Structures are given as structure tokens and as C-alpha cells.
Structure 1
């Protein structure tokens, strides 16, 4: 059975646009997903990248075209400049890690609910009530929003270090064995790889 290490960021628009396609591919191939939320902004500075607002204007302009274009292609609601972005993505990541440790719900749905809250619903994922709503939607105890904060912070930091060591420089980022796939538009390639065709 294959394992997909999935490095994702709670603030990433591209993780939102990935939807639940990764989960569908994993189910198709009987693969497991090891979710690894990490600090994408910190990863940028460690791997030669820059946060969106610090990029050259040509990159900023391209992003402004590409994100809505991809959202339309996927039929997903999307706000290029959501009301609560940037915000602190760490509390939602800590709650995700607490849910991961507790079990009993759907982690794929939780990751999607968090990112959708930012990019489609224009809600602030740094707020406790938003995090609780995401946990509830995904079948987890909403009380997990307030538990395991220290462990969540430690795991979040470890995930960043591990990501940098393994060559992760963006999100979503998928690793299977020694094969790395960057971007929601590479899920089809991941599918072919798991099928032994790529």
C-alpha cells in the first residue's frame, strides 16, 4: 500500500483548489494519506521563495489571473482578495493536528473546510468559532479547537523542518517514496504514478 505524504498550508489558495481530489485518488489506489500541515510562509524564506506580496509585479499579476482561472475551470467559488487574508493560519493547523491525533472524523474534509473558509466563505480561520465549525463539519469534536495546543505547535514546527529537508517549497505538495508532486494541477500526475503509468 502506498503512502502519500501531503504537505499543506491552511492559508493556501491552491490547497483549497485541490478540493477533495487527492482523497479520491488515494481511495482509488488504496493509498493512505499522511497529512502534514506546515508554515508555508516560513518555508518560502527557507527555500528561495517569497510571500505573494513581496514577489515581482509580473508574478503578482499572473497569480491574479491564474487563481480565478483555475477556480472557474474547477467550478469552485473563489475570492481573489478574501476578507480575512492574510491571517494567522497556525490555530487552524493546531486544531487539525489535534483532530489527526484524536481520530473519528474526515481529515480530508477538515483540510478542505479550513481552506474553503478562507477562499470561498471569507471567514477568519484564526477565530475559534470558525475552527470549531470546520471541526464539526468534518465529524470531529469542536472542543479540539482548544486542546493539544503545545503538541500542535511542536508538530507544526517539525512538519516545517521535515518539509524543507525533503525538498518541499510550496503547497500543496505530495510525496510518494522518492517522487515529489507540487501543485493542485499535479494530482492527475500523482494518479498516474500510483497506477504505475508515470
Structure 2
């Protein structure tokens, strides 16, 4: 079997949302696992020199919206460019995803639902009811929401963030095939080729 795809992301990243289903489909195409590693934006930016959106110069903020509109049109994903609940503390959502994964379940549909809650449905992923509904709508137990507060789940989240720093990630989504890093959903063609 080929190397798995290791996928580092922020739940609230529009770019990770744009690339998410395509990354999952590439993994299926090559019959390899995709291992999702939610991590904290602050950790990645601190290590990699990134700047939170609100602190970026206006020309960069403006061009970000141009690119988001282009990709939304290109991928036919009708995101809201100015969602009501962004930026947001994604800790609860990320840890719930990890709790599902830690139980050996596939969290892909849950991840996509939570991302869509931000970018398509104007829902607040800091609200436990939003996360609970995302779980149940994907056939997953709402107990995972309670498990999100367990110390071992928090440790995995911290471990993802530490791993991101050790692998010199500076933005998301970032994909690894073996030791080769691919930053950005616009590099997914190269991920596909690396597995071919």
C-alpha cells in the first residue's frame, strides 16, 4: 500500500474546506488512508510566521476575498464570504472530531459538516448543540461531544499542534505523502501525482 495522506487543517479554514472532499476522494482513488489532524491556527502561525486575518494588510485581506470567490465558483461550493461565526474558537469542534477518530471511526463526514456549518449554513461551532447535531446527522453518538473534554483527547489535539510545528507547517491545509509536504488545496493535483 502507498503512503497515507496526512492532512493538517483548521476546522474554520475556508481553504481546508475547499480542499476537503477532493483530498478524501484522492485517498479513495489510491486506496490509501487519509489521516486528519486538526490543529490550532495560533500554534501554526506562531511557528511559521503567519498572521491572523484581522492583522493582515488590507490589500492581502481584499485579495483573499477575490481568491475565495474564484475558488467557490470554480468548485461550485457556494460559501458565504463573510460568515457570521468566523473567526471562531474551534476547540470544541476539533476535539470532538478527535474523539470520534480516537474511537476508530471515520470522521470525514463530520469534519465536512462542521466546516459547512461555518461557511454554508451560518452556524456557530462553539455551540454544543451545533456540534451535537453535526454528530447525529452523520450517525455518530452525541457522547463524543462529552468525550471532547477528556484529558487524553486534549493531549491528542496538543500533539497534533506539536507535530505541525515539528513538520514546519506554516498554513493549512497542508498534506503530507511520506515526507513530502504540499501546502494548500491548490496543490492537491500534486498530492494525487505523488500517490500515482
Superposition TM-score tier, normalisation by shorter sequence:
over 0.9
Is the aligned partner of 1:120 residue 2:103?
no
How far does residue 60 in structure 1 lie from its aligned partner after superposition? 0.6
How far does residue 148 in structure 1 lie from its aligned partner after superposition? 4.2
Partner of 2:138: 138
Structure 1 regions of 5+ residues with no counterpart? Answer: none
Alignment of 1:81-96 (within 5 A): 81-96=82-97
Is the aligned partner of 1:54 residue 2:73?
no
The answer (yes or no) to whether the contact 1:107–1:138 under 8 Å persists in 2 is no
- Structure 1 distance, partners of 2:109, 2:69, is 22
Say which SS state the counterpart of residue 18 (structure 1) adopts: helix
Per-residue CA deviations over 1:61-109 (Å, capped at 9, x if unaligned) read 11011112111110012111101111110000010010001234x3211
How far does residue 19 in structure 1 lie from its aligned partner after superposition? 3.5
- Structure 2 distance, partners of 1:118, 1:148, is 19
Structure 1 segments (4+ residues) deviating >4 Å? none
Alignment of 1:23-42 (within 5 A): 23-42=24-43
Higher mean displacement: 185-194 or 140-149: 140-149
Partner of 1:18: 19
- Structure 1 distance, partners of 2:15, 2:60, is 15
How far does residue 3 in structure 1 lie from its aligned partner after superposition? 1.2
Say which SS state the counterpart of residue 175 (structure 1) adopts: strand
- Structure 2 distance, partners of 1:134, 1:84, is 16
Structure 2 regions of 5+ residues with no counterpart? Answer: none
Partner of 1:155: 156
How far does residue 152 in structure 1 lie from its aligned partner after superposition? 2.2
TM-score (norm 1): 0.93
Partner of 2:172: 171
- Structure 1 distance, partners of 2:110, 2:130, is 12
Is the aligned partner of 1:184 residue 2:190?
no
Per-residue CA deviations over 1:137-177 (Å, capped at 9, x if unaligned) read 33311221111422222111111111011021111110111
The answer (yes or no) to whether the contact 2:7–2:35 under 8 Å persists in 1 is yes
- Structure 1 distance, partners of 2:130, 2:47, is 30
Say which SS state the counterpart of residue 28 (structure 2) adopts: helix
Count of aligned pairs between the two proteins: 194
Partner of 1:70: 71
- Structure 2 distance, partners of 1:20, 1:138, is 15
